[in-house]
Chain A
């Protein structure tokens, strides 16, 4: 295994010690486990079944719903996580521990409980007002977006805050003295410098949204051909015993996630190399 000094990105080989070999063994074990896990899924499914499933209208509906809801949820996440991450990185916040805990709630709570909380907020508490405005959330695709957004946002905030933390604030100060207003400094200096961290954070948010199930089930319901995302489709078909549909859908979901991640990672690496 070629080891690289990660801290400065130089690809110098370093001599592995026994200590490092132990860590390598654990790491190799984890990779093997993941590979076997994914391999098992592929082994259990069949290409013929996948070909049949991807032609079914139910699959088309679930795929479309999953893609558009997860992308809208990711856009909303970006809208919230960029300013929040910046504030957390640059400002001294009174009651920091309390604020951090509040932000972590969607991470530490089981998604089902987050879903119940969302259901109460958008049902009994705000439901009537939202209905008057024509914005029904509960048991609708909008609910899917809200649930995905709620679960994905804290992950993006953490990653984006870290990206902003890694920028020397003096880079921004120099831009101010060169004539840029704070808003333009953010667009012209901070965002380009944090670009890779922001994209990574949003990819993480998107993959969380793509696979979201618990909170979606509570807020948007599990209704075939209405709020049926790919995860919901897998659950629905598992419960009625259609294993073929469920496993084929799972494999397709896995493929979508893997291909998207690989493309983005290659793109990001190319960007870094420029």
Chain B
């Protein structure tokens, strides 16, 4: 069997009182792994360990099946870009990009020089090659930093929150650029972020971290819609977390909410039940999976319940509606859809959810 491009096996890293514990994952060639976690959860520390800048106390790191745990960073030569572009102020843009090639004494090779031009063209920085970093904008600096990281075709690209210090417009164009580079170079990439949208948009694989531990990993959409525990659902800001219990009717399992909204959802897919014995459960319905309709009379329809509109929050891309029964429920929809419904604050509405779009969590 062909080994994975990059594999991490139970690494354990200590820095002061902080510990990264038992981190394991693997990355196939061409995959884009996003590591998601709050500030201070050890993401940067993990990335620096992968680059060889920190030595793990235990565990192993493999590149194409070869153990590189003790290989120093200059021999690994992974592309690395931090949140701040960290360009060298005493070098112009071209020399900054060529800095890695200089380390290998290849900075005068024609193919390297033509690659600098090609990368600069692709990244829209060709006209800046003779400028010094202090004359560049944040986005331009980040592009130069990226070009510097990938110039010599690194085996892996490590990105430490590369977009978080950019304004929204620049961030979007940088996201597109990163995806384009990832496709064009077929470069295995590990991207660390605390931004949920970034994680969903960029990643082919997602790893959720908190307090030095990997909480869950998998396909980004699956992780977001089916978090492994209530803890992870809370971290991923699961919008509608309904407390309740499992009820059995005619040998089928139903979710029955504990509150007086009397929400009943079922029959549940039994293989999704966390534990048949665990009667107290939490049901997650992501805001995008709740359907809002203006017809509040269908009281007999299954998997639906009545509410009133309590608050309307407009966002640039969608509308978030908070509906209130005994509890609050969040629904999102497009602005056009919302306008067509012609509803106001206080209007009675009916919420419904498809049984396939809900996810049961154990306490």
List residues of A whose CB falls within 8 A of some B CB: 168, 170-171, 173-181, 184, 188-189, 192-193, 195
Contact = CB atoms under 8 A, between A and B. Distances in A.
Given A168-B86, A179-B100, A174 B80 contact: yes
Nearest to A184: B103
Contacts of B88: 171, 189, 192-193
Interface string B56-90: 00000000000000001110111110101010111
A171 B86 CA distance: 6
24 contacts: A168-B86, A173-B51, A173-B53, A174-B80, A174-B82, A174-B86, A176-B51, A176-B53, A176-B72, A176-B73, A177-B53, A177-B74, A177-B76, A177-B78, A177-B79, A178-B99, A179-B74, A179-B100, A180-B103, A181-B72, A181-B74, A188-B102, A192-B90, A195-B90
B77 A178 contact: yes
Contacts of A175: 99, 103
A176 B74 contact: yes
Nearest to A174: B86
B90 A193 contact: yes
Nearest to B54: A173
B99 A173 contact: no
Nearest to A178: B100
Interface string B155-194: 0001000000000000000000000000000000000000
A192 to B, nearest CB: 5
B48 interface: yes
A176 B77 CA distance: 8
Contact of A179 (B53, B90, B103, B158): B103
B104 interface: yes
A189 B74 CA distance: 14
Nearest to B160: A170
B148 interface: yes
Task: Say whether chain A's binding surface is mostly helix, strand, loop, or mixed.
Answer: helix
Given A170-B82, A171-B88, 5 more contacts: A173-B53, A174-B82, A177-B73, A178-B103, A180-B74
A178 B78 CA distance: 7
B48 A173 contact: yes
A246 B102 CA distance: 55
A184 B104 CA distance: 12
A178 B102 CA distance: 9
Given A173-B80, A192-B88, A178 B48 contact: no
Contacts of A170: 82, 84, 86
Contact of B51 (A171, A177, A192): A177
Contacts of A195: 90
Contacts of A174: 80, 82, 86
A162 B360 CA distance: 56
> Can you list the 6 inter-chain pairs with the closest CB atoms, starting with the nearest?
A179-B103, A178-B100, A177-B80, A176-B73, A180-B103, A192-B90
Nearest to A189: B88
B104 A179 contact: yes
Candidate in B84, B103, B152 with the most chain A CB atoms within 10 angstroms: B103
A195 B89 CA distance: 12
A216 B50 CA distance: 54
A181 to B, nearest CB: 5
A181 B105 CA distance: 13
A173 B80 CA distance: 9
Nearest to B80: A177
Contacts of A180: 74, 103
A114 B205 CA distance: 65
Contacts of B86: 168, 170-171, 174
Contacts of B79: 177
A179 B107 CA distance: 13
B48, B52, B76, B90, most chain A CB atoms within 10 A:
B90
A120 B52 CA distance: 49
